[in-house]
Structure 1
Amino acid sequence: MRIPGSTILIAGGTSGIGLALALRLREAGATVVVAGRRRDRLDAIRDEHGIDGLVVDVTDPTSIATLAADAVAAHPDLDALVTMSGIMELERIGEPGALDVAERTIATNLLGTIRLVEAFLAHLRTRPAATILTVTSGLAYVPLAATPTYSATKAGVHAYTEALREQLRETSVQVVEIAPPLTRTRLRGEGTDNDHALPLEDFVAEVVDILQTQPDAPQVLVERVRRQRFAAADGTYDEVFAAQSGR
């Protein structure tokens, strides 16, 4: 991916990693558009940062189709899509509410990603060089027992991304996976002061540095996530899984 001069849509770009990445990519020379569910939040980002925003609910196929049409109409030179939208909720399998959590998580994290790609792919294939960036997690490689469906959806997005990259291998569309480690955001409503988490600004700075220095890389792996990413290959999977489970 070549950042300067690119026009990038970040679905799920109104907070956390998405917004921080939007600001960093703009600093690196890209035109950035963010999308999210809340019009008031999009308006606040426009007023504070001068970044355009579009409304989308990634669990609603009609909303995604409208987003794609509006984004391409407003930005015909759009050449990159980041599928950042995601939710992460604690879940106790077999207990009341667990199935609702699972279904919401699949609809947002996995189906949302697939629907976004389907909605934007035809346009991206018309561009001389385009990029789809999916967002997985270190938990795609070693799951967290407390968030089984979140971990499963991120593993699913990883598999989908690998297959998508192969199907688009002979096209102008590059496919990149970003796999964050535990990062200081409000994803699970725990605040941003977790000492075990990577500071948000450190994460996005490392991500953009990798995109700039390794423009053809299929994965963006910051140093902190590599232990999870390669746990199975390194023979440390059981150790990492147990540590994540608190034992």
Structure 2
Amino acid sequence: MDLRNKLALVTGGSDGIGREIALQLQAAGADVIVSGRSAEKLQAMAALGFGTIAGDLSTPAGIDAVVNGVAGKPLALLINNAGVGSEYELDDIATLESAAQCIRTNLDAPIALCTRLLPVLRAQPEAAIVNVTSGLAIAPRAGGSVYCATKAGLRSYTQAIRHLLKDSNVRVIEALPPVVETNMTAGRAGKKISTHDCAAEIVRGIRTGKSEINAGMVKLLQLVHSISPALARRIMLRF
């Protein structure tokens, strides 16, 4: 995809991976709108020349704000990047709201945005949807059951709509990051990829026409999974 002069929307684009994706899309010549929850971070992005939309995608009002924010604009690239973790604990009923918020943000919101913005994407000569899932969509880790479930659900949804849109002008891409150095992973031990390097792989995949972008160590996980899904699950459940 030639990104020059394309209008892109990056949800969760004021921080973390989303911010780096937005910066690199802008450097490639795209016009970029970012959405987010932090007024301060959105103001900083606006100062860098980005369009901004304030909205919490765990709420219907936040989804409405994003849809209305691009209404009437020639949107050609939708990047569903916004995501949150969950404090869910299997034996703690009080954490069910955290689980629900994770599901609303990570799964319900991308489905809603794909559905509501598809007519706009169809109206462009060339368009794409990029759903950012995770290596944990391939095989889950026990410590993040709800988060993993949302990413696995989004992976399944992405594969299904890719088939539904295969004869259209809208490409459907899945990006699968590994563990990335972000606020969400702060305090976690182990090897992490930088947001810059992760975003670079995603943007490169969009430009070169990939349908699935496996970033960093996810390439190795995919290889293990292709040989033995059971082995991949055993490794990741203890991760």
TM-score by length of structure 2 reads 0.92
Question: Offset at 1:240?
Answer: 5.8
Using the alignment, how far apart are the partners of 2:236 and 2:108 within structure 1?
30
Residue number in structure 1 paired with 2:64: 65
Residues 136-181 of structure 1 show CA distances to partners (whole Å, capped at 9, x for unaligned) of 0000001011000100110000000011111111211111111101
Question: Offset at 1:243?
Answer: 5.4
Residues 1:66 and 1:204: Cα distance change in structure 2 (over 3 Å) = closer
Matched, 1:241 2:234: yes
1:1-247 alignment runs, 5 A limit: 1-47=1-47, 49-73=48-72, 76-188=73-185, 190=186, 195-212=190-207, 214-215=208-209, 217-235=210-228, 237-238=230-231, 241-242=234-235, 245-246=238-239
Tell which deviates more after alignment, 59-68 or 108-117. Answer: 59-68
Residues 205-244 of structure 1 show CA distances to partners (whole Å, capped at 9, x for unaligned) of 22222333x22x1111124211223433211643563355
Residues 100-154 of structure 1 show CA distances to partners (whole Å, capped at 9, x for unaligned) of 2221111110101111112211111111111111010000001011000100110
Task: Tell me the number of residue pairs that the alignment of Structure 1 and Structure 2 aligns.
Answer: 239
Tell which deviates more after alignment, 104-113 or 234-243. Answer: 234-243
Following TM superposition, the consecutive aligned residue runs of length 4 or more in structure 1 with deviations greater than 3 angstroms are: 239-244
Q: Could you tell me whether the CA contact under 8 Å between 1:176 and 1:218 is conserved in 2? A: yes
Using the alignment, how far apart are the partners of 1:72 and 1:45 within structure 2?
20
Q: Could you tell me whether the CA contact under 8 Å between 1:35 and 1:42 is conserved in 2? A: yes
Using the alignment, how far apart are the partners of 1:243 and 1:56 within structure 2?
33
Q: Could you tell me whether the CA contact under 8 Å between 2:131 and 2:174 is conserved in 1? A: yes
Instruction: Tell me the secondary structure at the aligned position of residue 2 of structure 2.
Output: coil
Q: What percentage of residue pairs aligned between the two structures are identical?
A: 30
Instruction: Tell me the secondary structure at the aligned position of residue 97 of structure 1.
Output: helix
TM-score by length of structure 1 reads 0.89
Using the alignment, how far apart are the partners of 2:85 and 2:234 within structure 1?
18
Q: Could you tell me whether the CA contact under 8 Å between 1:138 and 1:225 is conserved in 2? A: yes
Question: Offset at 1:60?
Answer: 2.0
Runs of 5+ in structure 1 lacking a partner?
A: none
Using the alignment, how far apart are the partners of 1:151 and 1:123 within structure 2?
30
Using the alignment, how far apart are the partners of 1:90 and 1:241 within structure 2?
23
Question: Offset at 1:89?
Answer: 2.6
Question: Offset at 1:96?
Answer: 4.1
